[in-house]
Structure 1
Amino acid sequence: MMSRWRKAAFLFVCVSFAIFDLGSAAQAQDARWRITKERWSASDEKAWQDFVAALGAADCWTFDECIKSPANPYRHTDPKTRFYVDCADMPYVLRAYFAWKNGLPFAWQSAMQSSDGPGGDIRYSSYGNVVVARDSVPRTASGVNAIPILHNLVNVVSTAMFRRHSMHDDPVMFSDTYSPRLDRDAIVPGTIAYDVNGHASLVWRVESGGRILIFSSHPDHSLSRSHLGKEFLRTGPELGSIFQKFRPIEVVGAKRAANGALVGGSIVAASNADIPDFSLEQYQGNPPGDPHRWRTASWMWNGENLDFYTYLRSRLSAGELEYKPVDELRAMMQSLCFDLRSRKQAVEISLGRGIQNMDPPHRLPDNIYGTHGVWELYSTPSRDARLKTGFREMYELVVEFVKMDMVDAPRLDYDGDDLPGDLLAAWWEQNAACDISYVNSAGRTVELSIDMIVDRLYDLSFDPYQCVERRWGAKGEEAATCRDGAEKTRWYEAQRYLRNQIDRTYDVDMGYTVEDLERGPWGLRTGRGVEQGPEVDIRAWLEGFRSRQTASGEIANPPVTP
């Protein structure tokens, strides 16, 4: 009988769906997983990194598209199969897929238990989870069908698998992943980035300037690409944030069949002490302190006291960290453009299912960020919160760049004499390069831009029951084609405070009626949202700053215009 803890493992943040359509029996035979290698070698790990990097760089917008794209060198060996995975599943399914294609062993946590005690939610446990069951790919001479194993992973894996104590080192119920050092040799493609608010991504590139590029799947099966920023919260070791890598494993005690396949034996994992790049640096700080006192950790680099995220970039830079402010702005806008295009696909999937034509439920889910059913599949509150955080982070960084330029900070690599003007020029350049549009309820295409999105960022509806115009924050004449009635309009207005909130509060009750939302009170811990979102309009800030410079005679040129 399935234990209650194994059953609990099926309650997860990132809803997962089966891998299906196995094709004929003959095709299924092509999917045999024969384990021929006792362990992952250094060359296997490098090939894994290259595999992930290629998929991350590919022009594909769902996991299934990526697996079937030219970026996947194994695609021609697959049986007729469609892959549907979510954020938590993606690292596991990709790792298992690669292991299958290369005759490598694979094992996984099959059940977790909350350290909070009986009844604890393994998705959001305050003290993390412990492994209570494990499984592995059977080792037989004829091999086993890989597709059901991948199917099983999709049904078992959840973000709870990543929410485990980084210092635990059980040789039997070991964790699948470990905490790595913070440097370019350890944070590589295939490294997991775990957001304790219920999201997991894979690193696919670390740029020379230390920016970490990530990609992830979503409940609607769309794929997004971004860079790792402050939306990935740093916490203590008991929750496993932020970086994790798959733990080295090997098969011991197996016999080798005539065809080279390993038969029998058992899986043994490397202990933390035996992993060369294992480190608690992301909790201890630098110089190392007590990992349990992670809130007070300091981050010193080259004699300078930094915040964690600046320290991370410094550690991952190929040389001394220097900000090229104009290039940074371009990169951030390109990343946000990717996010917006991914959001467009998510909205279109919801529209294609006709969710906007359904009557809304009487109450919101118990928590809009982590639930199940239609809301989990087609709403976008978590995605939108990360998007808003990205705009906010860009705003803060650009303001900081201008301030650094005013004092000629050594970390700023800028030789011009009008940084606000050059930043504005880059803004309009990237704004023109980002093509965003949607088809309204009347069937007409509406063109948008990053600049327009900034103006309506807190109007973008995350509610899948609302019209496409409201999903894209339409106002005035643009909103006239929306066919929502009075009830949905009331919900849209009442949800304004939730749209203002960029912090995801997974542990707060949010199952309110529209009347509850309208009454308030509002605040981060009320579950009803906040009265005002943070400032994100960096273009307006730059124009205002430059106008003041012009008025004071600091620069003679007029403000940059598109």
Structure 2
Amino acid sequence: MIFRWRKAAFLFLCVSIAAIGIGSTAYAQDARWRITKERWSEADEKAWQDFVAALGAADCWTFDECIKSPANPYRHTDPKTRFYVDCADMPYVLRAYFAWKNGLPFAWQSAMRSADGPGGDIRYSAYGNEVAARDSVPRTANGVNALSVLHGLVNVVSTAMFRRHSMDDDAVLFTDTYSPRLDREAIVPGTIAYDVNGHASLVWRVESGGRILIFSSHPDHSLSRTHLGREFLRTGPELGSIFQKFRPIEVVGATRASNGALVGGEIVGVPNAQIADYSLEQYQGNPPGDPRRSHSASWMWNGENLDFYTYLRSRLSVGELEYKPVEEMRMMMQSLCFDLRSRKQAVEIALRRGIQNMDPPSRLPDNIYGTHGVWELYSTPSRDARLKTGFKEMYDLVVEFVKMDMVDAPRLDYDGNDLPGDLLAAYHEENAACDVSYVNSAGRTVELSIDTIIDRLYDLSFDPYQCIERRWGASGAELATCRDGAEKTRWYEAQRYLRNQIDRTYDVDMGYTIESLERGPWGIRTGRGVEEGPEVDIRAYLEGRAARRTASGEIANPPATP
């Protein structure tokens, strides 16, 4: 079966024209897409990288805000319009927008079919997808309406577009993207990071220490920024994870009109073998093995056997990878603070729509992580799972830093003599600097912090039908202003085990009633959640290490001997 992906009616407006006189001269001038270049040059690709990097660094919290911000040098040439995109749309719409503004060709996969066979959801196919049809921006002397093209893209694109075999190399039905090398020359701003659990982001910066900063849009149109971590699962090449870059294309056989526009011709994709940074490294490992046996890949770097994520950072670091533990923890906390601010935007969007005042459905969606309608737009189970994974990753890494310090590991760059104490001091400073709050049901502001969130991480409700207090995990006196009745309270309690789960299971039936959730059993493959979430309380861990250090008679930061 071939899927020409179409989203529900409420997503049909993902790129909409707001109150424009379509026949106006200004609109006709600003919205025409004339293709004047046969291919993307190196200079165009570098400009694309700079464009994405600037938007990623901007202080904006929706795609529309970013496009209209000073970070976008083309904003003054846009007709009056608003942009609404989700995570899958963003890489395509942003690439198309840039192509429009620079007279560049653009083409895309317009239909996909599952390699699993008929039926099923192509966003989560077990064996990936195949390209069934392609489309491109027409080459005409007068150009085409660019906003119509962007609008059409939003109705076609889904994460199914990224879920395709990285070794495919069809000359006609070629894939839009390819698998790049894992180094600083290849993993650059504008590179796509695809999470096979149904999420796509764009790289906007690679730091000197190898950390990859990403940003993405969401179904509620809010924008989030974080760093790429272990929540992005590495799979075999058939599913296309993790890294993808837009394939070079060129216009062949066109003629040039008197105004410089290319007319006619066809779009040709550059084959994998002719792309300078094409590589199956993320599947083959190092030294290279069989990409079809990616589960057994090994990762050697400078004679050391590493896990994939440490290898990735080593490859992307300037010089040898060294962990500066205090700096690392500060950066992780700052990233988590960004995530919390982004979550606040998402929750507030649901509140403004009044979803918390609606009666909840009688059962959960078939799968809370991959669904449609109100739940897809306004719930946050996937976002919250990534947030919890971020907290767990910070906890695990800090524990590892302390262990590395105890054996004086060469990869650890730390010259002090009280790492737990220094980490704890940095934790308190970053916690104080993270300003997160919400306005409760009575209209009063409630201040939160990273420390507060850690204490209630598994109490944060992902359910948009519940009150703002429960969305932020309130209890005791803080919960008193919540106006949820008995039914919503019962739903909240029944969803506790789902909130404990940080692994997103898109292939598990989860369409349960309250009674089914309450009965159990619980476990990762039950669709009802798990009984306990992983440990994330970094403050308690560091305080415990400091207490043991004091009890053992060690002196933290002793004064210098005269």
Could you say which TM-score interval applies, normalised by the shorter chain? over 0.9
| DSSP 3-state at the match of 1:73 | coil
Residue 19 (1) aligns with residue 18 (2): no
Q: TM-score, normalised by structure 1?
A: 0.97
Letter in 2 for 1:97: Y
The residue that corresponds to 2:452 in the other structure is 452
CA distance in 2, matches of 1:340, 1:266: 46
CA distance in 1, matches of 2:469, 2:13: 29
| DSSP 3-state at the match of 1:430 | helix
The residue that corresponds to 1:217 in the other structure is 217
Which has the larger displacement, 459-468 or 23-32? 23-32
The residue that corresponds to 1:271 in the other structure is 271
5+ residue gaps, structure 2: none
Q: Does the 8 Å contact 1:179/1:279 carry over to 2? A: yes
The residue that corresponds to 1:296 in the other structure is 296
Percent of residue pairs identical: 85
| DSSP 3-state at the match of 2:141 | coil
| DSSP 3-state at the match of 1:528 | coil
The residue that corresponds to 1:169 in the other structure is 169
The residue that corresponds to 2:85 in the other structure is 85
Which has the larger displacement, 113-122 or 19-28? 19-28
Q: Does the 8 Å contact 2:417/2:557 carry over to 1? A: no
Letter in 1 for 2:474: A
Which has the larger displacement, 115-124 or 430-439? 115-124
The residue that corresponds to 1:501 in the other structure is 501
Letter in 1 for 2:485: G
Q: Does the 8 Å contact 1:501/1:530 carry over to 2? A: yes
The residue that corresponds to 1:64 in the other structure is 64
Letter in 2 for 1:366: D
The residue that corresponds to 1:309 in the other structure is 309
Q: Does the 8 Å contact 2:33/2:143 carry over to 1? A: yes
Q: 1:410 to 1:15 in 2, by over 3 A?
A: farther
The residue that corresponds to 1:410 in the other structure is 410
Q: Does the 8 Å contact 1:550/1:557 carry over to 2? A: no
Shift of 1:546: 1.0
CA distance in 1, matches of 2:331, 2:11: 31
Q: TM-score, normalised by structure 2?
A: 0.97
Shift of 1:16: 6.5
| DSSP 3-state at the match of 1:130 | strand
CA distance in 2, matches of 1:556, 1:349: 47
Shift of 1:5: 1.9
Letter in 2 for 1:229: G
CA distance in 1, matches of 2:126, 2:437: 41
Shift of 1:10: 2.2
CA distance in 2, matches of 1:163, 1:243: 11
- 1:412-446 deviation digits (Å, cap 9, x = unpaired): 00000000000000000000000000000010000
CA distance in 1, matches of 2:327, 2:60: 25
CA distance in 2, matches of 1:368, 1:448: 27
Q: 1:556 to 1:342 in 2, by over 3 A?
A: closer
Shift of 1:284: 0.2
Letter in 2 for 1:337: C
Q: Does the 8 Å contact 1:355/1:465 carry over to 2? A: yes
The residue that corresponds to 2:125 in the other structure is 125
| DSSP 3-state at the match of 2:536 | coil
1:89-238 residue pairs with structure 2 within 5 A?
Answer: 89-238=89-238
CA distance in 1, matches of 2:253, 2:556: 78
Letter in 2 for 1:409: A
CA distance in 2, matches of 1:186, 1:17: 34
Q: Does the 8 Å contact 2:180/2:279 carry over to 1? A: yes
| DSSP 3-state at the match of 2:112 | strand
CA distance in 1, matches of 2:332, 2:42: 33
| DSSP 3-state at the match of 1:413 | coil
Shift of 1:303: 0.2
Q: Does the 8 Å contact 1:15/1:376 carry over to 2? A: no
- 1:16-74 deviation digits (Å, cap 9, x = unpaired): 64311251122331210000000000000000000000000000000000000000000
CA distance in 1, matches of 2:118, 2:227: 37
| DSSP 3-state at the match of 1:503 | coil
Q: Does the 8 Å contact 1:322/1:413 carry over to 2? A: yes
Q: Does the 8 Å contact 1:34/1:100 carry over to 2? A: yes
Q: What root-mean-square deviation, in Å, do the aligned CA atoms of Structure 1 and Structure 2 show? A: 1.2
| DSSP 3-state at the match of 2:135 | strand
What is the total number of aligned residue pairs between the two structures? 553
